[in-house]
Structure 1
Amino acid sequence: MTSNKRLYLDIHAIQTLPPSNINRDDTGSPKTALYGGVRRARVSSQAWKRAIRKYFNDFGEQNNVGIRTLRIVRYVADKIQEEDPAISDKEAMDLAEKTLNAAKISTKDQKAKALFFMGDLQAKNLAKAAIEGISDKQALQAILKSNPAVDIALFGRMVADDPSLNEDASSQVAHAISTHGVDTEFDFYTAMDDLSEKDSAGAGMLGTIEFNSSTLYRYANVSLHEFMRQVGNVESAASSMELFAEAFANSLPTGKINSYANTTLPQLLLIVLREDRPVNLVSAFEKPVKDGEGYVEESMKRLGKELEKTQRFVREPLAKLYVTTEEVSEALQGEFGQDCHSLENLKDQLGTILKEAMVNLREDA
């Protein structure tokens, strides 16, 4: 029996970036978007999802994180040799390729024809199947469908060779946009030749780099009922959401980061749990925040008011948790819900609430 009960996690952030160019277009310019009739700074969802996935790998305590690569034969071959060190490198590569081909994943020159997304547990189990000589397509594909890595479950997997291996994403990530209008600026730079002749004047190299600065509104959501179905375990699902909240707050695309050192953190992280539908609050900034004494305070006020206004259309949230670096009014605290004072406390509170809520989901199924 399938439950009709739903549970969604909305995660919002206000984050200021100094002069930077963390996400460029094909001409090297910072990405932008027209919204509310005004040009805004923009960071694509793909760029921030990549940063979140990298954070999972670097800081997550969970081992089952996905790898997306053309070198999928090499990845599985390494798992084969970890399982049985007596197998030579060439044998492992041949065995991995044979097993992947049996699962209907096309390869050429021992590389996938298209990027393939595979979880750590999936790769280990596929390696064991390869050693055991399993070549049945259905059995191998069952391995590739089971135990999805946290980032595969969240962000999905598309397999052109066989759509049955596709994994629907349980998360949606919006393009981050500035709460205000921006103008792209140009940094003219010169580089000197350290070994140039003493009487040589001028630079060894010169050019320009484009940049802007902005206060961004960031948003993502997770269909927790779908995510729990994918992960299959309440404890794992809850701990994964704690990691996702941490990664959403602390991750940052690294474009031109050596040039600008724009390693900021959010001024506000807000999590809202809903039982009816997710709600993106970007409409708070359709009318751009005006330049005055900075954008953060007004952006937070706008976000709180928009959260209040949405209640005319949707149900009261199950829970609201936030952490901020800023002073907020009593009225705004009421809109944002429970002040957790730190990201660690927010994660703890979130985990406790989610475990109870997801157990209820399972009981109703």
Structure 2
Amino acid sequence: MPQRLYIDVHVIQTVPPANLNRDDQGNPKEAIYGGVRRSRVSSQAWKRATRRHFDDQVPTPDRATRTKRITHELATRIARTSGLDRDGADRIATALLAQLGLSQGKKAGDTAYLLFYGNAQLDAAAALVADKATELAALDDKALGEAVKELPVADTFHSGHPVAVALFGRMVADIPKLNVDAAVQVAHALSTHETQLEFDYFTAVDDQNEKDETGAGMIGTIGFNSATLYRYATVGLAQLIDNLGGDSEAALDALDRFVDSFALSAPTGYQNAFAHRTRPSLVAVVVRTDQPVNLVSAYEQPIASEAGIQANSARRLAEEHLTATQIWGDQPLYAATSHTFTSREPATKDTAEALTHAFGSPVAFAELRSTLRTRLTASLGAGA
């Protein structure tokens, strides 16, 4: 196995009028890049969308949860498995989690920060007291704390990470032993062109208005824009394998599902108002052995609005990839793309040819994923 193995995922996706990810004013997030204002979707927003899509594909025990209410969740499991009343289960859960040294939040029972853990990990913590919960609940708080002091609560969070935690990591600033280094990095999505913030002025009519009553029952505005976005993420395969206890097959499964979920997910902000879900027009994967490479520099000079933004964005990506490989002498282990551009159409002929030159002949998305796995399996076997 190469010492370094990174899987870069590049996506071009056009989104219609939408407000995917709002700022503190309720408007779509933006950024200045290349001297002009761009539409932006934060990495956190798209990571959460990816995680939710990811979790929909796996059984409940294999899912991960990020919450301040870990004490409540643990107590629920203890009550379910032991038959204890809620008060007794809450006291045991509090005593168990006290060993982790989690800072307490303002609300009783909450932690001061969101903790990312696997359902199976919390099930394992509950199982530590499953056969003695009744006896523990009968103790006073001090005796209860002493009775559970030697139980390996922290160990349940140090291993057996669900795939989502192995991919996205876990950061607990004041308890470094609970940290998990992320195998995934996700960039902020950025429009390949200049955008303008627009506003939708809306009115809502009261259906129960009297016949002689006029006017709206509600008025308001929603900020929106539309954009062709460049999205980028990278996965460090060695870190992912390490996070999953050295299980290469589990890591390849996780990578495959990540590529699928990153490509097909979308933040849900104002989705009922805008119905903004689209598919990418291009997904490219590049396996590198040196370092991850974000190709956003292809759009430092914004695509002109009259040029055909989607096709030109894809062609710019192909050209930037070729330039990077030629100048720096990069030799990716594998590169492939799945896209909607065809050489049969005059408007996209140049784009299709540029993409083929850069990434090879296009393949269906399912084939891109399966071939990626085959290449990585061969590489891991060669390095064994």
Query: When the two structures are superposed, what TM-score results if normalisation uses the length of structure 2?
Result: 0.88
The answer to whether the 8 A contact 2:282-2:340 is kept is yes
Q: Which residue of 2 aligns with 1:79?
A: 77
The answer to whether the 8 A contact 2:315-2:354 is kept is no
Change in CA separation of 1:224 and 1:325 when aligned onto 2, cut-off 3 Å: same
Q: Which range is displaced more, 106-115 or 243-252?
A: 106-115
Change in CA separation of 1:339 and 1:221 when aligned onto 2, cut-off 3 Å: same
In the TM superposition, residue 121 of structure 1 has moved relative to its aligned partner by 2.3
The answer to whether the 8 A contact 2:82-2:130 is kept is no
Change in CA separation of 1:200 and 1:180 when aligned onto 2, cut-off 3 Å: same
Question: In percent, how many aligned pairs have the same letter?
Answer: 42
Runs of 5+ consecutive residues of structure 1 not aligned to the other structure: none
Change in CA separation of 1:235 and 1:39 when aligned onto 2, cut-off 3 Å: same
CA RMSD of aligned residues (A): 2.1
> Is 1:349 paired with 2:349?
no
> Is 1:211 paired with 2:224?
yes
> Is 1:287 paired with 2:286?
no
> Is 1:123 paired with 2:122?
yes
- Give the aligned residue type for 1:321: A
Runs of 5+ consecutive residues of structure 2 not aligned to the other structure: 133-146, 343-350
- Cα deviations across residues 19-67 of structure 1 (Å, max 9, x unaligned)? 0011110001111100000110000001001101111222236842321
2-side partners of 1:61 and 1:9: how far apart?
26
Q: Which range is displaced more, 139-148 or 259-268?
A: 139-148
Q: Which residue of 1 aligns with 2:190?
A: 177
2-side partners of 1:42 and 1:245: how far apart?
21
Aligned partner of residue 93 in structure 1, secondary structure = helix
Q: Which residue of 1 aligns with 2:140?
A: none
The answer to whether the 8 A contact 2:18-2:225 is kept is yes
- Give the aligned residue type for 1:246: D
Change in CA separation of 1:221 and 1:51 when aligned onto 2, cut-off 3 Å: same
Aligned partner of residue 8 in structure 2, secondary structure = strand
1-side partners of 2:104 and 2:30: how far apart?
37
Aligned partner of residue 111 in structure 1, secondary structure = coil
The answer to whether the 8 A contact 1:9-1:274 is kept is yes
The answer to whether the 8 A contact 1:333-1:339 is kept is yes
Which 4+ residue blocks in structure 1 deviate beyond 6 angstroms?
Answer: none
> Is 1:36 paired with 2:34?
yes
Change in CA separation of 1:255 and 1:331 when aligned onto 2, cut-off 3 Å: closer
In the TM superposition, residue 126 of structure 1 has moved relative to its aligned partner by 1.3
- Give the aligned residue type for 1:298: N
Q: Pick the aligned partner of 1:321 from 336, 343, 356.
A: 336
> Is 1:358 paired with 2:380?
yes
- Give the aligned residue type for 1:254: T
Q: Which residue of 2 aligns with 1:93?
A: 90
Q: Which residue of 1 aligns with 2:254?
A: 240
Q: Which residue of 2 aligns with 1:54?
A: 52
In the TM superposition, residue 360 of structure 1 has moved relative to its aligned partner by 4.2
- Cα deviations across residues 69-95 of structure 1 (Å, max 9, x unaligned)? 11101222333345x253443333222
> Is 1:102 paired with 2:116?
no
Change in CA separation of 1:139 and 1:85 when aligned onto 2, cut-off 3 Å: closer
Q: Find the structure with the greater CA-based Rg.
A: 2
What number of residue pairs does the alignment pair up?
358
The answer to whether the 8 A contact 1:97-1:107 is kept is no
Change in CA separation of 1:88 and 1:132 when aligned onto 2, cut-off 3 Å: same
In the TM superposition, residue 331 of structure 1 has moved relative to its aligned partner by 4.0
